[in-house]
Amino acid sequence: MLCRQIDPLSPATDVNGYEHVVKNNVSFSPRNSGAHITNINTATSAVQHNSWNLPVNLSNVDFLSLDISELSWPRQSDGSLPNIALLKPSDNSKIIDKGLDVGFGFEGIAPDLGYAEHPAPSGIVAVSPEDRETKSVEYYTIAGQKVNKDAYGFRIKKTIYKDNTAIVTREFLISNKL
């Protein structure tokens, strides 16, 4: 993480990175053993809640995929990036809910480490009133609802809370007939 030091009297010089904010990142199996991040001035940078400075010992099973060839997959038909699994957390990954709230929405009680959130478990998630007041949490409610003359279904409401305020609410209708 280099920066350029520019002195008008001399050529530009690379210096250790400074004033960087490095939070909620994952480093797995770095090329240089133990060198998860290099060339950074930690005295002037915020480097916290990353896989290398938390008590997590990662292994292959913590990720859905470690196949770097996914990075060269073609874009989707609408031009968006491909939906890859590389370094996304697996179901029982040790990086789930280990991050620090930096102002982005997240699933569960804390952000996951890395670039992608692990999806919340399906079904009903019980949340105590104490959790709702002290953490960002999500909960689901399910209520039977008649969806047409002959079928019944469920409306699932998903709400994500941050600082005791609903920030995202989504509803899904599930029917037992198509």
List pLDDT tens digits, range 88-145: 999 889 999 999 988 888 887 889 999 998 876 544 444 444 544 444 444 444 444 4
Mean of all residue pLDDT scores within the chain: 74
C-alpha–C-alpha distance, residues 27 and 58, integer Å: 9
Amino acid in the structure at residue 39? N
Segment 149-176 shows an average pLDDT of 59
Other beta carbons within 10 angstroms of residue 68's beta carbon come to 10
Q: Round to whole Å and give the CA distance between 49 and 98.
A: 7
**pLDDT 10s digits, 3-29:** 666 666 666 666 677 778 889 999 898
More confident position, 178 or 165: 165
Contact at 8 Å (CB) between 58 and 95?
yes
Cα–Cα distance measured from residue 50 to residue 42, given in angstroms and rounded to the nearest whole number: 14
What is the rounded distance in angstroms from the CA atom of residue 167 to the CA atom of residue 170? 10
Q: In the 8-state DSSP scheme, what is residue 122?
A: S
Q: Let me know: does 39 contact 2? Beta carbons within 8 Å.
A: yes
pLDDT at 61 over 90: yes
Which of 13-27, 38-52, 98-112, 160-174 is least confident?
Answer: 160-174
- pLDDT bin (cut points 50, 70, 90) of residue 37 is confident
Q: Which of 8-22, 37-51, 62-76, 87-101 has the lowest mean pLDDT?
A: 8-22
Helix ranges (H only) for the chain are 129-134
Q: How far is CA 59 from CA 31, 86, 106, 145, in A?
A: 15, 14, 23, 44
As given in the structure block, the two tokens for residue 64 are 């859905």
User: What is the pTM assigned to this prediction?
Assistant: 0.60
Q: Which of 84, 88, 132 is nearest to 114 (CA)?
A: 88
Q: What is the pLDDT of residue 95?
A: 94
CA–CA separation, 31 and 35 (whole Å):
8
Maximum C-alpha span of the chain: 82
pLDDT band at 160; cut points 50, 70, 90:
low
Q: What is the pLDDT of residue 31?
A: 76
Predicted local distance difference test score (pLDDT) of residue 145: 44
What is the per-residue pLDDT for 39?
Answer: 81
Helix %, strand %, coil % for the chain, to 5?
10, 30, 60
